[in-house]
Structure 1
Amino acid sequence: MAGNVTPVMLPAGVALPQEYASGVARSRNGGTPLHDDAFVDGWINAARKRGSLNNVQVPLDAVQGWHREPETGNIHHQTGRFFSVIGVHVRHRVGHHELEWDQPIIEQPEIGILGILAKYIDGTLHFCLQAKEEPGNVGGVQLSPTVQATYSNYTGAHGGARPLFIERFIEPDPAGRLFARLQTEDGGRFLYKSNRNMIMVAGDEVPVELPEGFIWLTLCQIASLIRRDNLVNACTRSILACLVGAGSAGEPAYTAGGEGLRDTLQWLDDRRAVTHMLTRRIGLNDLKEWRLDEKGYFSHVPSAFFRIVGLKVSSQTREVGSWGQPIIENPAPGIIGLLLREGAEGTELLMQAKAEAGNRSTVQLGPTAQFTQGNYEGNQKLEKPFLFDEFSAPGPFPPVHESRQAEEGARFYREYNLHRILRLPEGTELALPPDYRWLTLRQVQVLVHLGEQVNSCARSIISCLL
């Protein structure tokens, strides 16, 4: 595990099922992999060579199957399915401070399935990932979950074939359920969007031999692949965050870090109580600082934040041979950061109570740092986040992990964030703002297992601790 993170055991109420906990620990610590590392590298290279997806950016008004409403400017698919791009006006008040803005946002009132199939092979638990292309992927093929499908996808709204293995996640066998929780997507760019993150353990009815494009890997192998840039996709990282640091079995809850889980939940609730965020749907035409630019893209006037572009896509390997779609393009990578320290009861993570306009609960547990530098430098409206300089150019805090991790390529165009994990030197004290708190890894894992408590950026960087 990155940074020698101490394994922890979860409270019995949210622990991994007893029959699978030891298998997870063995898979993470080595076990006997079905394929050696050389085979895995060759398999990845072959999958990338088979890649056939091509795309070109086009004006939004030229996107096949999509239209902009004349009155509102909002962008919808002709079937009314998939997702829409709409506008929102946001008022965010904490104490005596208030910030107001408007922005485009993706509205997708469907719960998708992000599912990983697992199986014991020669006594070691393996996890099935697929080499999947998405139009916005950095590097073409990335390692995705066994199933990555919206409701529109697996009910055939696109007119293509159903995803392989989808039945195991639509009607899951309770006996094989290792993990299943709703988790929120990026609350800054999705409006009230959740997907079901799942891990299902199969028996002999699923053969060791998989269809082309799928592979069995141990957690130890996946952890190694996460340390490579832009290889393991965002959905896979989101799911696997539930397995970081998990011990061999559940045990009664105990106080950790001198504060305990009860105090942590109270702190989160307190931050939600003092954070007032009103998010109101409006038309894209009504946004004050956004417009359709000379290329036919929907852009922020000062060219900050992100823009909505159109794509024309073709593929020889997907369920549908060609399609068009709007997609979010970010002009610069962001930074997702995590600060660690060693406490009396193991590894502690500095987490923040992060408010985002698209979260149903407004505030969720976020990583130490979550920002794009260019949005703050020279911006008179926005105050730089806590530890902005330390994570922008690390100096006093030794690095534990650094990698570039891509965002989900179906909605974000060639976007990645620098994932930077730093360690607080022993004896160093930090004065923390009210929105920040040291939590044990065990406390964070409890919140991951509760569902819709830990945001997508936090889950992404936590997966780097596998």
Structure 2
Amino acid sequence: MRASAPAAPALVAPAPAADRPAARTAAALPGGLGRWFAEAGERAYTRTRRIPLDALDGWHTDPRTGDLVHDRGAFFTVGGLAVSAPDGPVRHWAQPILDQPETGILGLLVKDFGGRPHVLVQAKPEPGNAGGLQLAPTVQATRSNFTRAHGGRTVPYLRYFHQPPSRRLVADVRQSEQGAWFYRKRNRNMIVRTTEDVEVLPGHRWMTLPRVHALLAAGDVVNMDARSVLACLPPPPGPAGRAAHSGREILCWLTDVRSRTGLRTRPVPLRGLPGWHRTEYAIGHAAGRFFDIVAVEVRARGREVRRWTQPMLRPRGTGVIAFLLTRIDGVPHVLVHAAAEPGGVDGAELSATVCCTPENYDVLPPGARPRFLDEVLNAPPERVLFDALLSEEGGRFHHALNRYLIVSVDGPGPYEDAGDHRWVTERQLSALLRHSHYVTVQARTLLTCLRSLTGPYGGQK
């Protein structure tokens, strides 16, 4: 049964240039970079407004299942998922989930200038971005985008990432994305080196790696896809130091966690999910927590198409995603959590020490509260090495903001006693990122943030 809901906010007139999110971000950036960002914001932007679910154009509600489906079977579907976790504090639940089975391309082009590597980034607007434009990889496209299922323009620079010679490949690996919101979603993360003269199109810019990494601490500037691809860079040169656990021990531990994880899932109709209700403007949980599925109309400039509508997932609350960091025999280690998410591909992956939205646990059993969450939230300022509010992918998620932190602790302590946590080094995470489905997208962002603090990635800009 449908329930009524208040009318969604109407689309407002475009804000004056100085008040637009991209202009406010540009004002906080240094010199020429700020001017470039402001100019890009005048050429490319999105305007998003809420619309009723039934007003989606090119989408329909499946009469049998209630799923939200694209008319041509492209892009993604919003369906339901039933989850069984007999070993967890919440043993059964059901939820909406985004099903996007196609594999997109997140590609970063690299070229040396004056003996220093530069990456070609773009200032890209997405409908779900809280701050308008963000720095994105050279290519950021779903398969539906680069096969032009939307009927729009072709994706610039795509040819560099279509069957490049192996000698030019710095990284090429499929990586998972948010398993709490996506069902078995993967994107191909690619870094390709070129020696060609590359035309720099409007809204694109060559930047050094230290410059890009420095912008992570500036707030919500570097988008999730760029952070993910940057994490796939080979580890910086230099001595590795001795790790607390060998690579073989880490793999055996993760295999053991995966083998004993009792998480089971099955797709179910979106209609009739226990605890979830559809109103005119949203599909939301009865407790007012977790997330909503909403519909938006987007009007854009500087994108492949100028207008479209789509469903989006809108989280409730701001997440906390953190690494605890310590030195063991002088070598920095971060504490990873082997955790399974309902939309994951191969059971548990290595995630952040803490990865949650704290407000959600107000309506869950006390035992569900993540271990180490309070230690992260109550850390004294001198222990907080990195602290920035960053957003997740703005093409599917609306204003999905997380607070990313790196917090230092004294020694390895008792942190591994939980059984599903281990201390690993940056090099060990980098080695696992040469393969698929070992390191979550949240941990990849934190790895990129960690690299921004020290070493060649955080050096001269």
TM-score > 0.5 by shorter chain:
yes
CA distance in 1 between counterparts of 2:412 and 2:419 reads 21
Q: Deviation per CA, 1:410-454: give whole Å up to 9, x if none.
A: 000011100011001258554630110111222111111222210
Aligned mates of 1:465, 1:142 — CA distance in 2:
20
- Report the secondary structure of 2:39's partner residue: helix
Give the aligned partner of residue 19 of structure 1.
none
Code of the residue aligned with 1:413 in structure 2: it is H
1:408 paired with 2:398, answer: no
Is the alpha carbon distance of 1:283 and 1:429 closer, same or farther for their aligned partners in structure 2, counting shifts above 3 Å?
Answer: closer
Aligned residue runs from structure 1 range 274-289, under 5 A: 274-289=260-275
- Measure the CA separation in 1 of the matches of 2:37 and 2:361: 38
1:62 aligns with 2:55: yes
Q: Which amino acid aligns with 1:150?
A: T
Measured in 2, the distance between the counterparts of 1:53 and 1:225 equals 22
Report if aligned partners of 2:170, 2:233 keep a CA contact under 8 Å in 1.
no
Q: What does residue 76 of structure 1 align with?
A: 69
Deviation of the 1:394 alpha carbon:
2.1
1:462 corresponds, among 447, 453, 456, to 447
Q: Distance in 2 between matches of 1:242 and 1:174?
A: 16
Given that residues 333 and 418 in structure 1 are in contact (C-alpha distance below 8 angstroms), is that contact kept between their aligned partners in structure 2? yes
Which of the numbers 371, 384, 394 marks the counterpart of 1:386?
A: 371
1:450 alignment partner in structure 2: 435
SS in 1 for 2:178: coil
Contact 1:397 1:424 in 2 (8 A): no
Match of 2:24 in 1: none
TM-score (norm 1): 0.87
**Paired AA for residue 188 in structure 1:** A
Residues 89 and 102, structure 1, Cα contact 8 Å, conserved in 2: yes
Structural mapping, 1:260-275, within 5 Å = 260-275=246-261
| Aligned partner of residue 36 in structure 2, secondary structure | helix
Cα separation, partners in 2 of 1:310 and 1:257, compared to 1, 3 Å: same
Whether the aligned pair in 2 keeps the contact of 1:160 and 1:320 (CA below 8 Å) is yes
The CA RMSD over aligned residues, in Å, is 2.0
Q: Does the CA-based 8 Å contact 1:399-1:423 persist in structure 2?
A: yes
Highest RCO, 1 vs 2 (Cα 8 Å, sep ≥ 6)? 1
What is the CA deviation profile of residues 206-263 of structure 1, one whole-angstrom value per residue up to 9, with x for unaligned ones? 33x5010000001110011111111000000001112374226xx9xx9943420000
Deviation for aligned residue 1:283: 0.5
* In structure 1, C-alpha distance between the alignment counterparts of 2:45 and 2:338, rounded to whole Å: 42
- Give unpaired runs (5+ residues) of structure 1: 1-35
Gaps of 5+ in 2: 1-28, 452-461
Q: Kindly provide the CA deviation profile for residues 371-423 of structure 1, in whole angstroms up to 9, marking residues without a partner as x.
A: 00111124227611111211233249811100011110000001110001100
Structure-to-structure mapping, 1:320-335, within 5 angstroms: 320-335=305-320
CA distance in 1, matches of 2:155, 2:145: 8
Query: Measured at CA, do residues 88 and 216 of structure 1 come closer, stay the same or move farther in structure 2, by a change above 3 Å?
Result: same
Amino acid at match of 2:62: E
CA contact (8 A) 1:353 1:435 kept: yes
* 2: CA distance, partners of 1:360 / 1:183: 10
Is contact 1:244-1:463 (8 Å) kept? no
Q: 1:122 and 2:95 equivalent?
A: no
CA 1:284 to 1:397, structure 2 compared with 1: closer, same or farther past 3 Å?
farther
Structure 1 letter corresponding to 2:146: Y
Instruction: Tell me the residue number matched to 1:158.
Output: 150
- Contact 2:432-2:439 at 8 Å conserved across structures: yes
Whether the aligned pair in 2 keeps the contact of 1:373 and 1:392 (CA below 8 Å) is: no
Runs of 4+ in 1 over 4 A off after TM superposition: 426-429
SS at match of 2:65: coil
What's the offset of the Cα at 1:181?
Answer: 0.6
SS in 1 for 2:151: coil
- What is the CA-CA distance between 1:306 and the residue it aligns to? 0.2
**Alignment of 1:180 onto 2:189:** no
TM-score by length of 2: 0.88
Q: Which residue of 2 is the match for residue 142 of structure 1?
A: 134
Structure 2 distance, partners of 1:284, 1:311, is 19
Asked whether the 8 Å contact 1:397–1:425 carries over to 2, the reply is no
Matched, 1:353 2:343: no
Amino acid at match of 1:52: Y
Q: Which moved more, 1:114-123 or 1:340-349?
A: 340-349
Name 2:206's counterpart in structure 1.
216
* Number of aligned residue pairs: 423
Pick from 168, 180, 186: which aligns with 1:194?
A: 186
2:211 matched to 1:226?
A: no
Partner of 1:168: 160
Contact 1:340–1:424, Cα closer than 8 Å, also in 2: yes
Identity rate of aligned residues, in percent?
A: 35
